[in-house]
């Protein structure tokens, strides 16, 4: 007998008349009484290590599938859930405005004061240069119509404020037109040396990242913040050189305000930079100034004086929002809390009810049509059943768009069905049936498309029901109907359940067929989701609608499990 065989007897009781077996048993027991493996380690630890290795091997085998599911299923759902509450564009684009607007009373009949407009000018000027103002306007336009155009127009006119100060600085001294002046004013000495070397070497490779000097950060905080954004954008997005580009006009506005707040700022600098700053500080009293609040309201657009615009910005100033979900249930988020939408805008509740009703109707129609077909397939000879199964599977070999378009041709008032009915004399030519662009057309087309998904689960279950059960019932005196209803039908219920779940879930998310044949009364909530994704680009609302639809399906699935039991659903076997 081999050593491996001997090792497998570890832990077996030794026979009293076998000294060798007794000796081996003593060697496999530690001093503490623990059983030992062949290598001398405790048996419990050795078994745990072996099980752990088996689990790791199993995990490695399923890892590709697990990663695929995470990337294609879990990640998109997580992204949808995040988009339904994400609102970072407002606080990221208007950080100064959001901070000051928090103390503004939205119930007042006036727009905020000058400090808020000043902060808004800096935020808006930077957003216009970075081309973020249009995205911000589009986001807020979902809540208040007209804000999008307001932001676009303001983005075009915002530079006029900075140009007022730019012209005066350049009229005072032409050195303010030179990019080198701003580099010397704003940059850290070490950064300036590295940047100059990079520029002189032909601008090969990436330039050193901009670092402001301590004097600029302390004495010219507004200007430093603006120039840092300008430097990052110029070097990153535009791939240009700071030594060749003059800063944005808003930088001159910031410089004016910094020098007004700190007239002795020049003392922190030296050389030509200090002389320029002293010259500018001495001339500030003669500068033409701009009142930000009046300019926005009187020159750019009077809508900036509308408190509702600012209330919208204030309401949606947080990084997350419930506004998308409220819109998805025909409500809206206001400064005073949640409120119902006007009656003429309450459409999503109707669409959800219509979607559930029509999906259940389609599921019921599929059950009624699929059951006799599946029964026939399961009880016919194999040769005939296979031929009929080809006919059942034939629609899968035809494009969904072609099948849907064919129903549009069949159901229209001048279509095949109406022509046949008129030819048979069942209806008059002037009273043709309206069977398209309504709920009836959607139900007919989708029942035809989803019918195979009901037939196949039913057939797979019915094919496993022994015919002898029905024959036995008949031999005991049962009629054909009693044998079917009391014996055959209960065994086919798992197939009905599997097909119902499959058809219902497919139907509730369909949007191509309802879009083509549904018209205004036969569309689903999925059509609205597709519209917001592809046309209005309101992805947050589309994500909220999709999340609610997912929650409804999960709730119905849970209810089905409680009432029927998901364990009773089978696909055969």
Report pLDDT for 128: 94
CA–CA dist 241, 468 (Å, integer): 88
Report pLDDT for 46: 77
CA angle 8, 12, 13 (to 5 degrees): 155
pLDDT, one tens digit for every residue, the chain (573 residues): 344 444 444 444 545 555 555 555 555 555 556 676 666 677 777 788 888 888 888 889 889 988 998 898 889 888 888 999 999 999 999 999 999 998 998 888 899 999 999 999 999 999 999 899 999 999 999 998 899 999 999 999 999 999 999 999 999 999 999 999 999 999 999 988 888 888 777 666 677 888 999 999 999 999 999 999 998 888 766 566 788 888 999 999 999 999 999 989 999 998 899 999 999 999 999 999 999 999 999 999 999 999 999 999 999 999 999 999 999 999 998 888 888 988 888 899 999 999 999 999 999 999 999 999 999 999 888 888 888 899 888 888 888 889 998 998 899 988 889 999 999 888 888 888 888 899 999 999 999 999 999 999 999 999 989 989 999 999 999 999 999 999 999 999 888 988 998 999 999 988 889 999 988 888 999 999 999 998 888 999 999 999 999 998 888 888 888 776 666 665 554
Report pLDDT for 3: 45
Quickly list H helices, 262-335.
271-283, 292-294, 307-315, 323-328
For the segment 432-479, what is each residue's pLDDT rounded down to a tens digit? 888 889 999 999 999 999 999 999 999 999 998 998 999 999 999 999
Q: How many CB atoms lie within 10 A of CB 278?
A: 17
331-334 and 337-340 beta bridge pairing: antiparallel
Contact call for residues 90 and 313 (beta carbons, < 8 A): yes
CA–CA dist 162, 300 (Å, integer): 14
Phi-psi region of 145 (alpha: psi -120 to 50; beta: other; left: phi over 0): beta
Q: Is 234 helix (H, G, I), strand (E, B) or coil?
A: helix
CA angle 235, 241, 246 (to 5 degrees): 105
Q: Which domains does the chain have, with CATH numbers?
A: 1-41 (no CATH), 49-83 (no CATH), 177-286 (no CATH), 348-568 (1.10.3720.10)
Contact call for residues 168 and 288 (beta carbons, < 8 A): yes
The model's pTM is 0.80
Structure tokens at 141: 């336009």
Tell me which long-range contacts 501-505 makes (C-beta under 8 A, separation of at least 24).
501/557, 501/560, 501/569, 502/453, 502/454, 502/457, 503/362, 503/363, 503/366, 503/450, 503/453, 503/454, 504/359, 504/360, 504/363, 504/556, 505/553
What are φ and ψ of residue 336, in 5° steps? -95, 0
Query: Would you list the DSSP string of 461-482?
Result: HHTTS-HHHHHHHHHTT--HHH
Which segments within 385-497 are labelled E, that is strand?
none
Q: How many CB atoms lie within 10 A of CB 415?
A: 17
Contact call for residues 192 and 231 (beta carbons, < 8 A): no
Longest CA pairwise span in the chain (Å)? 119
């Amino acid at each position: 007998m081999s050593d491996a065989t001997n090792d497998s007897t570890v832990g077996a009781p030794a026979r009293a008349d076998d000294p060798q077996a007794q000796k081996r048993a003593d060697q496999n027991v530690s001093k503490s009484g623990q059983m030992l493996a062949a290598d001398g380690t405790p048996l419990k630890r050795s078994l745990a290590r072996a099980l752990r290795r088996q689990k790791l091997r199993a995990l490695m085998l399923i890892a590709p599938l697990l990663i695929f599911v995470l990337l294609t299923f879990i990640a998109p759902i997580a992204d949808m859930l995040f988009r339904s509450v994400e609102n970072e564009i407002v606080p990221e684009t208007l950080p100064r405005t959001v901070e000051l607007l928090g103390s503004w009373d939205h119930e007042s009949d006036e727009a905020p004061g000058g400090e808020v407009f000043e902060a808004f000018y800096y935020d808006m000027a930077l957003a216009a240069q970075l081309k973020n103002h249009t995205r911000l306007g589009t986001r807020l336009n979902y809540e208040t119509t007209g804000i999008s155009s307001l932001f676009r127009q303001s983005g075009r006119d915002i530079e006029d404020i900075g140009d007022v100060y730019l012209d005066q600085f350049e009229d005072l001294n032409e050195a303010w037109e030179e990019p080198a002046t701003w580099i010397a004013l704003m940059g850290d000495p070490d950064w300036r040396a590295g940047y100059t070397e990079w520029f002189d070497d032909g601008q090969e490779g990436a330039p050193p990242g901009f670092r402001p000097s301590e004097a600029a950060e302390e004495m010219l905080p507004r200007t430093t913040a603006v120039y840092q954004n300008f430097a990052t954008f110029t070097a990153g997005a535009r791939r240009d050189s700071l030594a060749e580009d003059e800063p944005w006009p808003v930088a001159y506005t910031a410089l004016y305000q910094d020098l007004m707040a700190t007239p002795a700022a020049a003392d922190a600098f030296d050389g030509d930079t200090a002389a320029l700053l002293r010259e500018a500080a001495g001339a500030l009293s003669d500068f033409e100034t701009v009142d930000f609040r009046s300019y926005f309201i009187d020159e750019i657009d009077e809508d900036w004086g509308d408190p509702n615009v600012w209330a919208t910005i204030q309401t949606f100033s947080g990084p997350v929002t419930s506004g998308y979900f409220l819109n998805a249930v025909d409500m809206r988020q206001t400064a005073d809390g949640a409120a119902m939408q006007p009656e003429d805008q309450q459409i999503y509740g109707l669409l959800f009810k219509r979607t559930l009703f029509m999906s259940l109707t389609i599921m019921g129609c599929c059950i009624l049509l699929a059951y006799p077909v599946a029964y026939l397939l399961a009880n016919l000879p194999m040769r005939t059943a296979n031929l009929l199964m080809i006919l059942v599977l034939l629609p899968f070999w035809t494009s969904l768009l072609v099948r849907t378009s064919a129903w549009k041709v069949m159901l229209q008032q001048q279509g095949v069905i109406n022509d046949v009915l008129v030819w048979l004399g069942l209806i008059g030519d002037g009273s043709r049936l309206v069977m398209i662009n309504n709920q009836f057309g959607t139900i007919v087309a989708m029942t035809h498309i989803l019918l195979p998904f009901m037939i196949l689960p039913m057939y797979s279950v019915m094919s496993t029901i022994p015919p002898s059960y029905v024959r036995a019932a008949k031999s005991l005196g049962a009629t054909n109907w009693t044998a079917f209803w009391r014996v055959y039908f209960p065994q086919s219920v798992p197939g009905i359940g599997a097909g119902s779940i499959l058809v219902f879930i497919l139907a509730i998310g369909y949007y191509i067929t309802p879009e083509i044949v549904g018209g205004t009364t036969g569309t689903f909530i999925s059509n609205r989701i597709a519209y917001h994704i592809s046309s209005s680009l309101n992805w947050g609302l589309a994500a909220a609608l999709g999340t609610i639809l997912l929650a409804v399906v999960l709730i119905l699935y849970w209810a089905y499990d409680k009432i029927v039991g998901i364990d009773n659903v089978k696909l055969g076997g």
